[in-house]
Amino acid sequence: MIHTPVSSRTKLDDVGTTIFSVIGELSSRYKAINLSQGAPNFACDSELIKGVTRAMENNHNQYAVMTGYGLLRERIAEKIQNVYGRSYDVEREILVTASASQGIYSTISALVHPGDEVIYFEPSFDSYAPIVRLQGAKAIPLKLQAPDFGINWDEVRATITSKTKMIIINTPHNPTGQVLSQADLDELAAITRNTDIVILSDEVYEHIVFDDKPHCGMATHSELAARSVIISSFGKTFHVTGWRVGYCVAPQALMDEVVKVHQFLMFSADTPMQYAFAEYMKDPQTYLHLAKFYQHKRDLMISSLADSPFELIPSSGSFFLLASYGHLSQEKDSDVVTRLIKEQGVATIPLSAFYTDGTDNKVIRLSFAKDDATIIAGAQALCRARFD
């Protein structure tokens, strides 16, 4: 170990190792079935691999255009126009990023300033608040209303101040699996009307909405589209989370600022992957089939858990299903997760990990972004769980 004479002052004094790393290490030690990680354990389409290989062999191995490979941006614009009926300028309003996470960071860094306030909703993806704090701004969490985990719009209205610069939305939602409705969009539009509030909309699961419901993203609402930066993920859509390519779209005035940060943070995303995605997206079914594909997995998990002690909270989208045990025990959710790994050999995530204050609703999160055999084996292990 190298000892340094340098004294540094932390910007994130309460941030340590994430729960995902802790659970991952424990799962590895006990060789547990992995229902914890929101990443597929099955292969992507071999055509994508061939596309990347072709791009490399054709010497597309240097920096891409800073805002992204032109044909890929055209494909993104076509998709949004065809699916959501919204037109974005290919040259000025679409940015390919090195992961959705980088798009989120670039957006918050570009548009949030010291002293600003940013409203977001818990339970939440764990990066939002730390990124806001790194800008010298204040992250204000509002709790989704258990057990349905809907947004209390009256609470949002009461929380907005003259310092509110951004509201972060996530739909379909990680970790609850809930989705926004048209009524929710209308509420958000009314709340932000005649303000300078920006909407950062994390829509990485946009194509994974179940039961024939539409994806009510910001691009479907003209008033919200005009004030939103929308984030999406090729990794989530095409089962290649390790490739780390995403994109964001926004009105030019907002995108101009996001691009300023992006060019110094990353400059451009991986070139061969961009070529492969552009080729692959010629067929819209490559992403339009996802709802049916993942609904099968959701339903398989639900049916396989029919004899478990858990009460399942309906999932309307994403990779995730919540399971409640509060009717049986008041054991801490983190203790339940640890015990399930050690006793039943199955890894899940405690919902309390998605709250800054550790709120414990006696709920765990399961991921069904797995092959069918893993879903069945994990569910069978959970059916053997006992609560005294």
Q: Which pLDDT band, with edges at 50, 70 and 90, does 196 fall under? A: very high
Contacts of residue 364, Cβ cutoff 8 Å, sequence gap at least 6: 310, 322, 323, 325, 333, 336, 337, 340, 348, 349, 350, 351
Q: Which of 190, 144, 191, 197 is nearest to 171 (CA)?
A: 144
**Is residue 286 helix, strand or coil?**
helix
Task: Note the pLDDT of residue 7.
Answer: 85
> Is 258 within 8 Å of 248 (Cβ atoms)?
yes
Q: Supply the pLDDT for residue 216.
A: 98
What's the length of the chain? Answer: 388
What are 117's strand-pairing partners? 138, 164
Distance CA 38, CA 18 (A): 14
Contact 232, 247 (CB under 8 A): yes
pLDDT digits (tens, 9 = 90+) for 205-244: 999 999 999 999 999 999 999 999 999 999 999 999 999 9
What φ, ψ does residue 334 adopt, rounded to 5°? Answer: -65, -35
pLDDT higher than threshold 90 for residue 9: no
C-alpha to C-alpha distance for 356 and 120, rounded to whole angstroms: 11
Residue 378: the pLDDT is 98
**pLDDT score at 327:** 95
Rounded Cα gap, residues 228 and 247, in angstroms: 14
Which is nearest to 20 in space by CA: 347, 369, 382?
347
Q: Is 384 exposed, middle or buried (0-12, 13-18, 19+ CB in 10 A)?
A: middle
H/E segment holding residue 74 = helix 70-84
**CB count, 10 Å around CB of 344?**
20
For 76-126, what is each residue's pLDDT tens digit? 999 999 999 999 999 999 999 999 999 999 999 999 999 999 999 999 998
Is the pLDDT score of 52 beyond 80? yes
Is residue 360 within 8 Å of 319, Cβ to Cβ?
no
- Looking at the DSSP bridge assignments, the partners of residue 169 are 201
pLDDT of residue 24: 86
> What letter does residue 305 receive in the DSSP assignment?
T
Cβ-based neighbour number of residue 316 at 10 Å: 19
Q: What is the pLDDT of residue 375?
A: 98
Q: At what angle are helices 290-304 and 372-383 packed, to 10 degrees?
A: 30
Percentage of the chain with pLDDT > 90?
92
Q: How confident is the model at residue 166 (pLDDT cuts 50, 70, 90)?
A: very high
Could you tell me the domains of the chain? 19-44+288-383 (3.90.1150.10), 46-286 (3.40.640.10)
Q: Are 234 and 245 in contact (CB under 8 A)?
A: yes
Determine what percent of the chain falls in helix, strand and coil, rounding each to the nearest 5: 40, 15, 45
Six-digit token string for 218: 């910001």
Considering the entire predicted model, what is its pTM?
A: 0.96
